[in-house]
A = this chain, B = another copy of it.
């Protein structure tokens, strides 16, 4: 491709509101443009990377025997209603009504229901199981806060795969196949992933694993033990609560004066001169079905909303309560009680931390007073007790009891799910067993987001000058630069080398511009990040040589045409963009 003809050119700067390095570089280097929040256009350079990622994933799916299919984007809404997923996904789901038939459709956010019904339609026999199928299809997830760039989009391409097995033994093998293939795909893409236990979220079902990439500005947090191999998403990770104040004897419940302005945990710590773990903290949520949830935890911890949803098996959306919501049952921000409201909508939840602390402060604060020496069971009881707090840095590992847990920021690369018979039950997905009996199928699902993989690669591979593409997904293998003060011999030779490389099936981006300085060409080249740089100039021509440099090395070599070709041909076979 001649750079002069390339659609989508580099820019010197990027808008200031662009925060993420991958967003900035992909924008500046001419790979992507934003259409509207969370919806991006991939320009030709971006599309080449995208296609290469698709090819790598497709190859690996073939290797494990998954069969590719194509399914519609619009799903009849009934499919989503059968498992109540429409309620659970809530506003994250986009729906529409056909203006002719009034039929309601949901835009595919995932496709468990659709694939369940597709497989059920074939009444498979045990001999045909397991069935492994996948597609590459546009997904619509109306995220509350899409991030800039490709890391969290509202619309993206997903490789989503689904498996259908007869029994748990067979399912375990299938799950392992995908699990291993995800490790292989990440490796093929030059990404280092950490598999972690994860929350199934709105997808429902049994258990799941995520494949995470460590990244400074990742929006996920994973928890890793420094002693055993325990690793989990913060939404799922468990830890041992401290026995707070365990040596003190239980003291009588008492109400003391407290100035109104002492409100936050930080202020309380200062006022009482006690550590944060000695205080009661309440956090309030509401659900789309009208429930109010008051979650109680010690002041050193944070409520994890996903843990709360899982504990309560909520089948509806949950959001932070607003000041209005608080007022609706007589509370206000900073003065929420852990017990005592008469409102029937309220469920009280206590995190385990509250049970392991003696003589706590708070939980029933008024404008001027505060209770102290509050003890769970004696002074109040929640409706549900459980693990609803996020792991804090340095907590003890619940798995090995010894290790210390570390928090790491990360990007989710892939996610594999076991659903057991969650979807099969709802969609009547049976197989005919040897004995002629109908039995429920066990299902799994396996997803990788293509654009996010691209973003994660750039987050991982960049330097102060630009992107440093791993060879396997680089938009081109070679960036050929012509530098000439107008000597037609140089231009001619560069054109010839360009044609020559194309003939050899080597992908080349050829900077053929004549009205641009060497400095601009070199910095564009570094910004775009193609693995090999070749320069043909009035000077190199005199020496009958070609200048060669790798993007990730400083060394510059002078090669003959033949030496250059040998070097490049070694890189083949190489994925070729389509």
A97, B444: Cα distance in complex, Å: 32
Closest chain B residue to A68, Cβ basis = B47
Residues 156-193 (chain A) with a chain B CB within 8 angstroms: 157
For A55-80 the 0/1 string (1 means CB < 8 A from B) is 10011001001011111111110000
Cβ contact within 8 Å between B70 and A73: no
Check if A96 is an interface residue, CB within 8 A of chain B. Answer: yes
For A382-421 the 0/1 string (1 means CB < 8 A from B) is 0000000000000000000000000000000000000000
A40, B68: Cα distance in complex, Å: 15
Cβ contact within 8 Å between A96 and B95: yes
Check if A43 is an interface residue, CB within 8 A of chain B. Answer: yes
Check if A36 is an interface residue, CB within 8 A of chain B. Answer: yes
Interface size on A, residues (CB 8 A): 60
Check if A466 is an interface residue, CB within 8 A of chain B. Answer: no
From residue A153, how far is it (CB to closest CB) to chain B in Å? 9
Check if A238 is an interface residue, CB within 8 A of chain B. Answer: no
Residues 110-140 (chain A) with a chain B CB within 8 angstroms: 114, 118, 121-122, 127-128, 131, 133, 138, 140
Cβ contact within 8 Å between A33 and B76: no
Cβ contact within 8 Å between B33 and A47: no
Quick one: which of A35, A48, A157 has the most chain B CB within 10 A?
A35
Cβ contact within 8 Å between A39 and B94: no
**Chain B residues whose C-beta falls within 8 Å of the C-beta of A62 in the assembled complex:** 578
Cβ contact within 8 Å between B58 and A578: yes
From residue A564, how far is it (CB to closest CB) to chain B in Å? 25
Check if A201 is an interface residue, CB within 8 A of chain B. Answer: no
A503, B73: Cα distance in complex, Å: 36
Cβ contact within 8 Å between A7 and B133: yes
**Chain B residues whose C-beta falls within 8 Å of the C-beta of A41 in the assembled complex:** 69-72, 118
**Chain B residues whose C-beta falls within 8 Å of the C-beta of A4 in the assembled complex:** 127-128
Known: A72-B40, A99-B142. A67 touches B35 (CB 8 A): no
Check if A553 is an interface residue, CB within 8 A of chain B. Answer: no
Cβ contact within 8 Å between B39 and A131: no
Check if A571 is an interface residue, CB within 8 A of chain B. Answer: no
Check if A5 is an interface residue, CB within 8 A of chain B. Answer: yes
**Chain B residues whose C-beta falls within 8 Å of the C-beta of A121 in the assembled complex:** 33
Known: A5-B128, A7-B131. A42 touches B70 (CB 8 A): yes
Check if A8 is an interface residue, CB within 8 A of chain B. Answer: yes
**Chain B residues whose C-beta falls within 8 Å of the C-beta of A6 in the assembled complex:** 67
Check if A100 is an interface residue, CB within 8 A of chain B. Answer: yes
Check if A44 is an interface residue, CB within 8 A of chain B. Answer: yes
Cβ contact within 8 Å between B76 and A50: no
Residues 224-247 (chain A) with a chain B CB within 8 angstroms: none
Check if A16 is an interface residue, CB within 8 A of chain B. Answer: no
From residue A288, how far is it (CB to closest CB) to chain B in Å? 11
A65, B71: Cα distance in complex, Å: 30
Quick one: which of A7, A9, A35, A127 has the most chain B CB within 10 A?
A7
A100, B91: Cα distance in complex, Å: 7
Known: A7-B69, A44-B69, A122-B8. A36 touches B76 (CB 8 A): yes
**Chain B residues whose C-beta falls within 8 Å of the C-beta of A107 in the assembled complex:** 96
Cβ contact within 8 Å between A70 and B47: yes
Cβ contact within 8 Å between A94 and B98: yes
Cβ contact within 8 Å between B69 and A43: yes
**Chain B residues whose C-beta falls within 8 Å of the C-beta of A75 in the assembled complex:** 35
Cβ contact within 8 Å between B94 and A70: no
A33, B121: Cα distance in complex, Å: 9
A99, B121: Cα distance in complex, Å: 33
**Chain B residues whose C-beta falls within 8 Å of the C-beta of A46 in the assembled complex:** 69-70
Known: A35-B114, A36-B76. A69 touches B42 (CB 8 A): yes
Known: A33-B118, A74-B140, A127-B4. A69 touches B47 (CB 8 A): yes
Cβ contact within 8 Å between B578 and A55: yes
Check if A103 is an interface residue, CB within 8 A of chain B. Answer: yes
Cβ contact within 8 Å between B76 and A35: yes
Check if A555 is an interface residue, CB within 8 A of chain B. Answer: no
Cβ contact within 8 Å between A96 and B99: no
From residue A155, how far is it (CB to closest CB) to chain B in Å? 5
From residue A448, how far is it (CB to closest CB) to chain B in Å? 16
**Chain B residues whose C-beta falls within 8 Å of the C-beta of A72 in the assembled complex:** 35-36, 39-41, 155
**Chain B residues whose C-beta falls within 8 Å of the C-beta of A44 in the assembled complex:** 67-69, 133
Check if A378 is an interface residue, CB within 8 A of chain B. Answer: no
Closest chain B residue to A515, Cβ basis = B127
Known: A69-B41, A73-B155, A138-B138. A91 touches B96 (CB 8 A): no
A465, B68: Cα distance in complex, Å: 26
For A506-544 the 0/1 string (1 means CB < 8 A from B) is 000000000000000000000000000000000000000
A141, B121: Cα distance in complex, Å: 26
Cβ contact within 8 Å between A39 and B74: yes
Q: Which 6 A-B pairs have the closest CB atoms?
A: A42-B70, A39-B72, A96-B96, A44-B67, A91-B99, A41-B71
Question: 22 A-B contacts, Cβ less than 8 Å apart?
Answer: A4-B127, A7-B131, A33-B118, A33-B121, A35-B71, A36-B76, A39-B72, A41-B69, A42-B69, A42-B71, A44-B68, A44-B69, A46-B69, A47-B68, A47-B69, A73-B140, A73-B155, A91-B100, A94-B96, A94-B99, A95-B96, A100-B142
